[in-house]
Amino acid sequence: MIVTRFAPSPTGTLHVGNIRTALHNWMFARAHGGRFLLRIDDTDAQRSEERFVDAIRADLAWLGLVPDAEERQSARVARYETVFEELRAAGHIYPAYETAQELDLKRKIARGRGLPPVYDRAALSLTDDERARLEGDGVRPHWRFRLDHDAPIAWDDLIRGPQSFDPRTMSDPVIRRADGSWLYMLPSAIDDRDMGVTHVVRGEDHVTNTALQLQMFAAMGAAPPAFAHEALLTGAEGKLSKRLGSLGVEALRAEGVEPAAIVSLLARLGTSQPVEPLADPAPLVAAFDFAQFGRAPARFDERELAQVNARIVHQLTFEAVADRLPPGMDAAAWEAVRPNLSTVAEAADWWAVVEGPVAAPAPDADDAAYLQKAAAVARTIDWGADPWHALTAALKEATGRKGKPLFLPLRRALTGRDHGPDMAALLPLIGRARAVARLDSNTGA
Per the annotation, where are the binding residues for ATP? Answer: 242
Cis geometry, peptide bond prior to residue 405 (ω within 30 degrees of 0): no
Contact (CB, 8 A) for 234 and 301: no
Q: State the burial class of residue 359 (Cβ atoms within 10 Å of its Cβ: 0-12, 13-18, 19+).
A: exposed
Give the CA dihedral 269, 279, 15, 205, nearest 10 degrees.
Answer: -30
SS3 164: strand
Contact (CB, 8 A) for 160 and 204: yes
* Annotated binding-site members: 242
Rounded to 5°, the CA angle 231-235-238 comes to: 85
In terms of Cα–Cα distance, which of 342, 300, 309 is closest to 19? 300
d(CA 360, CA 358): 6
Helices (H), 168-271: 185-194, 207-219, 242-246, 249-254, 259-268
Q: What is the DSSP letter of 346?
A: G
- The end-to-end CA distance of the chain, in Å, is 75
Judging by DSSP bridges, how do beta strands 153-157 and 161-165 pair with one another? antiparallel
